[in-house]
Amino acid sequence: MFQNRSSPVIVRWLLPATAGVAAWVLGQWIPLASPLLMGLVLGVIVVNSPAGRLRIFAGHQAVTKTMLRLGVVLLGLRLSLTDILALGPGVLAVIAVTVAVTFVATSLIGDRMGLDRGLVTMIAVGFSICGAAAIAAVEGGIKRKNEDVAVAIAMVTLFGTAMIVLLPLASRLLGLPSTQLGVWAGASIHEVAQVVAAATTAGAAAVAIAMTVKLGRVSLLAAAYVAARRRDGGQPVDGVKPPVIPWFVVGFMTTAALATLRILPEPVVHVADFSTTILLASAMFGLGLGMHIRSLFPVPLRVLGLSAASTAIAASVSLALTVALF
């Protein structure tokens, strides 16, 4: 007989972790689909099947939120501010201006369209910073509907995947050298895996540049969280007022500083990198458990329009700046 009571504490940790590992494995088989997306999909499949009513799948929200925050903390170890600063002032300007313009313009357009403010904020953050990871990082600090989290991540996946094809094609038509393609891809495409896929068409050098530029955008995650909270008016979420800068954002900045100083042994960094992926994928599985298909579809045309506009803004602003400054 199906049960709805919460599962035991150990299961509330082990089950999402197992799902996170499964999502990572699936991500190896489907390179363009990140483990974070796979984690979300697994959660959605479970909760929309009869198995979703079992006791084992109940009561994971608090644990997966903790996993998410720990994953964000470890995400900072992927950053080296020295490498990012080495890109030079021109590329740094491309990163900063593209992120700022994309976030602000997406927010203004979405608000004028009359879309839910929380959904607009998540799309603005996801498209300007680092896709699903950014959405997951800010969703707990703003008022939003559970189903809007999945919609925002779906839009990041859909339009980021389209950019894998469109950006290299546009680059060839414009006659851009590989270095400019790398900067453009890193500054405009939403997910890390999508950035790599697009830049690979121009060779290893373009991939290296694209990844560094992309990590430059990720380094602005703390600023994006603060901006998202300001858009939300600093209001309480679920009856609790989140701090202006939560502990996991402070942790993210601290680990980024450690990565910059390069004081951690390389094996520790590799383990932390893998753990980051598992924690974030596990957290996405937990988010997926709160998503019911009937509340997700059909996706409103206004949401598709906003996502298309945000993608176009990120692509056009970063291209213009790349050609002008780099």
What range defines the domain where residue 92 resides?
9-293+301-325
What's residue 203's pLDDT?
Answer: 84
Convert the pLDDT of each residue in 271-300 to its tens digit: 999 999 999 899 888 878 877 776 666 778
Evaluate whether residue 4 is within a structural domain: no
pLDDT at position 84 is 87
Percent of the chain with pLDDT over 70: 88
- Give domain status of residue 20, yes or no: yes
Within-domain flag for 3: no
Number of structural domains (the chain) is: 1
pLDDT at 2: 40
In this prediction, the residues of the chain whose per-residue pLDDT falls under 50 are 1-6
Give a yes or no: residue 158 inside a domain: yes
Which sign does the torsion angle of CA 160, 149, 245, 281 carry? negative
Query: What pLDDT shows up at residue 193?
Result: 79
pLDDT value, residue 4:
44
Rounded CA Rg of the chain: 19
H/E stretch holding 204: helix 204-218
2 found inside a domain: no
> Cβ of 169: how many Cβ atoms within 10 Å?
12
Q: Determine the pLDDT at residue 121.
A: 95
User: What pLDDT was estimated at residue 54?
Assistant: 66
pTM: 0.83
| Three-state DSSP class for residue 54 | coil
